[in-house]
Amino acid sequence: MKPAAFDYHRPASAEEAVQMLAEYGDSAKVLAGGQSLVPMLTLRLAAFEHLIDIGRLAPLQGIERRAGGVRIGAMTTQAAIERSTLVADAIPLVARATPFIGHFQIRNRGTIGGSCAHADPAAEYPAVLLALEAEFEVMSATGRRVVQAAEFFAGLWTTVLADDELLTAVNVPVWEGRCGFAIEEFARRHGDFAIAGAAVALQLGDDDRVRRCHVALLGLGMTPERAAEAERALNGIRVDEVDPDEIGRLAMEPLESIPSDVHGSAGYRRQVGASVVAKAWRAAAKEARGE
Amino acid sequence: MTAPDSAAARYTGARVHRVEDARLLTGRGTFVDDIVRSRMAHACFVRSPLASARIVAIDACAALEMPGVQAVFTADDLNSGVHESWYSAMGKHVPDTPRPPLAEGFVRFVGDPVALVIAGDRYVAEDAVDAVEVEYDPLPAVADYATARDAQALVHEGYPANVAGGLGTTLPDALSAIFKDSAHHVSVTVHQQAYAAVPLETRGMVAEWSGDELTVWAATQSPHEVRAFLARLLGLAENRVRVIMRDTGGGFGQKVMPMREEMCIGLAAMKMRSAVKWIEDRRENLMTAGMSRHEHGETHFAFDADGAIRGAYIDHVQDIGAYPTPWPVGTAAAVGMLFPGPYRVPAAAFRTTSVFSNTSGRVAYRGPWQFESLAREVTLDIAARHMHMDPVELRQRNLLRRDELPYANPNGMPYSDVTPVETFEKALQMLDYDAFRREQAVAREQGRYLGVGMCNYIEPTASAMSFYGTEGATIRIEPSGTVNVYVAGGSTGNSLETAAVQLTADALGVNIADVRTIQGDTAVTPFGAGTGGSRSGSMIAGAVEETAAILRERIVAIAAEHLEAAPGDMELADSHARVKGSPTNAVPLTKIAEIAYFMPHKLPAGIPAGLEASARYQARSPVIWANASHVCTCEVDIVTGAVNLLRYIVSEDCGPMINPSVVEGQIAGGVVQGIGGVLFEHLPYDEDGNPLATTFMDYLLPTACDVPTIEYGHVETAAPGPGGFKGVGEGGAIGAPPAVVNAIADALAPLGVEVTRLPLTPAAIRGLIEAAR
């Protein structure tokens, strides 16, 4: 369990980091908190000639309130997010998702950017950012661009980031009004990748009707996914007329690439998925109604 | 002249803090990977990616050209160096299964060691492993032992139908007649999955050949077994091999004997000019350090109309993988012999069959015969439901009472000095069984599924069988009066140092702070079998007592002469020898030691100079029986299949406790492994023989969050051995699986679910619920 040899680089700035990415192309990999990459290297499931360590770049760290949202630097650790009162107040779904990520030792090193760029379909942050329709700030040696969450995750452990691009921050919209947020997941043990999970962001009108409801699923496909049919069914419905189990069923119905492994078959995950969606809906609805 | 008994036990029975803990908890332990030798080389194995194949060719040229690579060994290089390869624990004459160091001609499981790379560091060694080209001709694999007897393919030529051996008998006619005649005949087949010891520290060894002496640092439960085995393996005189272990991070049976990799390291070290270190990584450990528990059994129980057992039978089949350690056929006999358990079973028989498969080999694991309890206790619960009887009542009706002891069960086990009725009663009281049943009824009305499960078992400890039947101790009271006690050791975290220090302090009447122990170095400690078979407490106590008796006699003689008192009036306490009833009339051990070493002219006639003695204890009975009752409660979420354990109670009788904290630690560790075995741990293979759990992502161990507080109820009945002590190392892992299975089955009984197959993952439980609908 020793990695193959690689050159270790620690650039002094994000600009220098993307210069290196431009130079080394796909023979380089960005090292953030290392909580997924390093085990893959030591198991020799992956090998890169160059590792570019951006973990200590201060400009990529930090949480700040901006108009309409919260900007979180890509190298902000999960532990920092967990401790942030700004996150807890403004984007509580992100705060609530964080304790599900591994264990505190992992969260002390793991970063939000690393988690998103690694794009494990069972990871919490990608699903939550998808639910909240966050924006991903990306830079390369040739410029910057912003990618919408719905576009960012391309496949299993794959994003739309090009080899020479670096994720620098995420912008998470703040939902105002009568809102409720919940994340529910079922894992074999606390801290394991979920067998199935669901994040719900809900906004109610004064008439108790659903104004906005976003449901994101984790662990149930090649990428985190929005439960579009469930969301459509909820749209405009009076909250007390919603059948949570039906929402769970609708959320699972279109899924075609539910994984199957030693922890559970696709069929089992579908059942568990429906139950976590229903559970997350109930919790979010309860909060939105101020109960 | 008779030496006095030691003063009233001061430390034995007390919750003395472990003497190992300061070192271990501050990161100052010395494990095998902490050993660094000059110019030490690092070893890494090339392992088979296929479950069964012929090795066509091995090309190590590219690897040998890599800078830092010192050697690449194959079977042609190493295997011819084997002189003998039998274990002291089993003896020379068992019909052992094959155990070549490196694969010869064929690979027989994924992970089979094919070649050994030696390099300047482990990084280069792993690079070189990737560069060794092995050409395989794939063969059909026997992935599933359950169908292996009907498979076309053979794991080993020479073992028709893939059977390594068996013992016992098909169902005898007399027993069959009892089953037919009885009011109730219950038969089920219970299946257990492969799981493993998974010590925190993986296997490892450093071996250094000086041209004259082989020095080995090992992660082992038995340094003397490692020495004896390697001496025979390499054709060296035993006194030219020294094995040293200080700290070993868990063994649980996996480190009780050296396996193929350790054979390779010993053989390779003889060819190298510097020490060779091999540290197994976690993937190797999960893939190749062996599996246990993979077995099934068809059980039969017959009862009369009142629930009294009339007869029992088990037909047991176990998976032994490709290369088991040790010979698995003999150890499997215990499953059958113990199957009647602590119950009054008038007639019984068993059959056990050991079957090869192209998977990791079966190895010893804490309570290796544990399936007897799982199969029996699960069957009893199913029988109770079948007879509409409470499972407690069924057990109470059949448990052996003390007035029936000694009692020989019909499969040949002569029980004595056990208290199954008492431990069961205590555990039920601790739970408040009736209150739980009421709580369960209320919960069921609310659509919640609570259950209670139980297990009674009886367990052989401190076996006197050959290698295990004696234990030596040397005690050296230094000229300053401090005390060193030398025993073989083999502590893997199981408090052997604390036990030796506690027992010695009491045996000599000295303050515990004055006693230290030296263990694990074959050059200085007496021969001993190490940790295994729940033997260490009893055997170390015997060895310390035999040796201390010699020293007590000398101490008293010197002190009596010094105080001008009669030896018979002396007692030893607080590091002094004193006249009974006259505590000021005393002489400190420091003074006695000074006389013994520096004033030989003052020694009484016939008393030798110095205060050193060695003696060897010989076990007085073939086995010391221990027993326990486990009771646990749980809630099952019928939507996800998740199990939440609510309470876990163990009432055990391990005799008088040397140290209750150590006893409880041993029980807790075993219980957690048993819980893991039911709910989490699994080493599955696909149909081609590929292992599916080779990291901790897929092999799940229970964590602190998954285990409830374990509650203990001690019953202390003396055994016929030193101090009355009984073994307690293995029982937790034996009693837990059936208790947890039965709790889950009890919770799901209203849904019509019967549980006969492990592991009970959430998905598996969900599947059972659906199948019952």
Q: Which residues of B touch A262 (CB under 8 A)?
A: 682, 684, 692-693, 698
- From the list B123, B700, B766, the residue facing A188 with the nearest CB is B700
- The candidate with the shortest Cα–Cα distance to B196, out of B119, B285, B125, B316, is B285
Q: Please state the separation of Cα A275 from the chain's center in Å.
A: 20
Q: Across residues A220-230, what is the average pLDDT?
A: 97
Would the CB atoms of A44 and B692 count as touching at under 8 Å?
no
Q: Which residues of A touch B765 (CB under 8 A)?
A: none
Would the CB atoms of B698 and A188 count as touching at under 8 Å?
no
* A128-149 burial code (b ≥16 CB/10 A, e <16): bbbbbbbbbbbbbbeeeeebeb
Q: How far apart are CA B718 and CA B654, in angstroms?
A: 8
The alpha carbon of residue B763 is apart from the nearest alpha carbon of chain A, in Å, by 5
Q: How far apart are CA A201 and CA A134, in angstroms?
A: 12
* Residue for token pair 């090339």: B46
Size of interface A-B (CB pairs under 8 A): 65
Mutate which of B130, B644, B761 to disrupt the A interface (most A C-beta within 10 Å)? B761
Would the CB atoms of A1 and B700 count as touching at under 8 Å?
no
Residue B2, pLDDT score: 42
The alpha carbon of residue A268 is apart from the nearest alpha carbon of chain B, in Å, by 6
- From the list A189, A268, A275, the residue facing B763 with the nearest CB is A268
Three-class SS state of B136: strand
Angle between helix B660-679 and B731-748 (nearest 10): 50
Q: Which residues of B touch A192 (CB under 8 A)?
A: 700
Would the CB atoms of A271 and B692 count as touching at under 8 Å?
no
- The candidate with the shortest Cα–Cα distance to B741, out of B654, B636, B650, B656, is B636
CA atoms lying within 13 Å on the CB side of residue B532 = 30
- From the list B123, B684, B762, the residue facing A262 with the nearest CB is B684
Residues 6+ apart with CB under 8 A from B320: B97, B145, B164, B328, B354, B355, B356, B357, B361, B362
- B4 pLDDT higher than 70: no
Would the CB atoms of A195 and B122 count as touching at under 8 Å?
no
Nearest CA in chain B to A275: B639
Would the CB atoms of A189 and B762 count as touching at under 8 Å?
no
Would the CB atoms of B126 and A44 count as touching at under 8 Å?
yes
- From the list B283, B698, B763, the residue facing A43 with the nearest CB is B283
* Residue for token pair 């035999």: B546
Q: Which residues of B touch A264 (CB under 8 A)?
A: 761-763
Residue B199, pLDDT score: 97
What separation, in Å, do the N-terminal and C-terminal C-alpha atoms of chain B show?
Answer: 78
> Which residues of chain B from 630 to 689 reach within 8 Å of chain A, CB to CB?
639-642, 680, 682, 684
Is B305 in CB contact (< 8 Å) with chain A? no
CA angle A155, A160, A164 (to 5 degrees): 130
Three-class SS state of B643: strand
Is B240 in CB contact (< 8 Å) with chain A? no
- A232 pLDDT higher than 70: yes
Question: For chain A, how many residues are written?
Answer: 291
Residue A291, pLDDT score: 87
Neighbours of B308 (CB within 10 A): 17
Would the CB atoms of A43 and B695 count as touching at under 8 Å?
yes
- The candidate with the shortest Cα–Cα distance to B344, out of B402, B389, B305, is B402
**Assessment of whether the complete model's pTM goes beyond 0.90:** yes
Nearest CA in chain A to B124: A4
pLDDT in tens, B526-545: 999 999 999 999 999 999 99
Question: Cα-flanking dihedrals φ and ψ of residue B510, to 5°?
Answer: -110, 160
Q: Which residues of A touch B127 (CB under 8 A)?
A: 4-5
Residues 6+ apart with CB under 8 A from B603: B558, B561, B595, B596, B609
Q: How far apart are CA A52 and CA A30, in angstroms?
A: 5
Sheet with B69-74, side-by-side order of all strands = B69-74, B113-119, B41-47, B276-279, B204-209, B214-218, B241-244
Q: Across residues B277-300, what is the average pLDDT?
A: 98
DSSP state of A5: P
Q: Which residues of A touch B692 (CB under 8 A)?
A: 261-262
- Binned at pLDDT 50, 70 and 90, residue B8 comes out as low
Would the CB atoms of B123 and A5 count as touching at under 8 Å?
yes
Residues 6+ apart with CB under 8 A from B210: none
Q: Which residues of A touch B703 (CB under 8 A)?
A: 189-191
Three-class SS state of B80: helix
Residue B1, pLDDT score: 38
* Residue for token pair 């800078």: B67
Which CA distances in Å does B678 have to A64, B66, B195, B360, B651?
47, 46, 10, 20, 20
The alpha carbon of residue B701 is apart from the nearest alpha carbon of chain A, in Å, by 9
Nearest CA in chain B to A3: B123
**3-state SS record for B659-685:** CHHHHHHHHHHHHHHHHHHHHCCCCCE
Q: How far apart are CA B125 and CA B132, in angstroms?
A: 11
- B9 pLDDT higher than 80: no
- The candidate with the shortest Cα–Cα distance to A117, out of A159, A154, A61, is A159
DSSP state of B403: G
Residue B583, pLDDT score: 86
Q: Which residues of A touch B706 (CB under 8 A)?
A: 189
Q: How far apart are CA B89 and CA B240, in angstroms?
A: 21
Three-class SS state of A39: helix
pLDDT in tens, B342-380: 999 999 999 999 999 999 999 999 999 999 999 999 999
pLDDT in tens, B83-132: 999 999 999 999 999 999 999 999 999 999 999 999 999 999 999 999 99
Would the CB atoms of A189 and B702 count as touching at under 8 Å?
yes
Mean pLDDT of chain A, nearest integer? 97
Would the CB atoms of B693 and A189 count as touching at under 8 Å?
no
- From the list B281, B680, B697, the residue facing A1 with the nearest CB is B281
- From the list A4, A5, A188, the residue facing B762 with the nearest CB is A188
Would the CB atoms of A189 and B126 count as touching at under 8 Å?
no
Which CA distances in Å does B475 have to B501, B548, B551, B597?
11, 7, 8, 15
Q: Which two tokens stand for residue B54?
A: 């012929």
Please answer whether residues B449 and B520 qualify as being in contact, where contact means their C-beta atoms are separated by less than 8 angstroms: no
Nearest CA in chain A to B125: A2
Q: Residue ranges of the alpha helices (H) in B403-520?
A: 420-431, 433-445, 496-508
Question: Cα-flanking dihedrals φ and ψ of residue B96, to 5°?
Answer: -65, 160
Mean pLDDT of chain B, nearest integer? 97
Would the CB atoms of A188 and B761 count as touching at under 8 Å?
yes
Please answer whether residues B678 and B760 qualify as being in contact, where contact means their C-beta atoms are separated by less than 8 angstroms: yes
Would the CB atoms of B761 and A271 count as touching at under 8 Å?
no
Please answer whether residues B318 and B331 qualify as being in contact, where contact means their C-beta atoms are separated by less than 8 angstroms: no
Which CA distances in Å does B172 have to A7, B163, B312, B339, B642?
70, 22, 11, 16, 42
Neighbours of A291 (CB within 10 A): 7
Q: Which residues of A touch B763 (CB under 8 A)?
A: 195, 263-265, 268
Q: Which residues of A touch B281 (CB under 8 A)?
A: 1
Please answer whether residues B304 and B394 qualify as being in contact, where contact means their C-beta atoms are separated by less than 8 angstroms: no
Mutate which of A43, A104, A188 to disrupt the B interface (most B C-beta within 10 Å)? A188
Q: Which residues of B touch A3 (CB under 8 A)?
A: 123
Amino acid making up residue B86: W
Question: Cα-flanking dihedrals φ and ψ of residue B224, to 5°?
Answer: -70, -30
- Binned at pLDDT 50, 70 and 90, residue B554 comes out as very high
Which CA distances in Å does A251 have to A215, A263, A277?
8, 21, 7
- The candidate with the shortest Cα–Cα distance to B716, out of B627, B618, B644, is B627
Would the CB atoms of B680 and A189 count as touching at under 8 Å?
yes
Q: How far apart are CA B338 and CA A165, in angstroms?
A: 65
Q: How far apart are CA A140 and CA A21, in angstroms?
A: 8
pLDDT in tens, A176-196: 999 999 999 999 999 999 999
Would the CB atoms of A262 and B130 count as touching at under 8 Å?
no
pLDDT in tens, B66-85: 999 999 999 999 999 999 99
- Residue B701's Cβ-count burial label (10 Å; 0-12, 13-18, 19+) is middle
Mutate which of B278, B640, B672, B682 to disrupt the A interface (most A C-beta within 10 Å)? B640
- B206 pLDDT higher than 60: yes
Question: Cα-flanking dihedrals φ and ψ of residue A217, to 5°?
Answer: -110, 145
pLDDT in tens, B161-180: 999 999 999 999 999 999 99
- The candidate with the shortest Cα–Cα distance to B195, out of B111, B281, B253, B153, is B253
CA atoms lying within 13 Å on the CB side of residue B664 = 16
Mutate which of A2, A45, A282 to disrupt the B interface (most B C-beta within 10 Å)? A2
Residues 6+ apart with CB under 8 A from B741: B374, B377, B378, B453, B678, B755, B758, B760
Nearest CA in chain B to A39: B695
Would the CB atoms of A262 and B693 count as touching at under 8 Å?
yes
Report which secondary-structure segment, H or E, holds B634: strand B624-636
Q: How far apart are CA B471 and CA B482, in angstroms?
A: 23
ipTM score of the complex? 0.95
Q: Which residues of B touch A193 (CB under 8 A)?
A: 697
Q: How far apart are CA B47 and CA B134, in angstroms?
A: 10
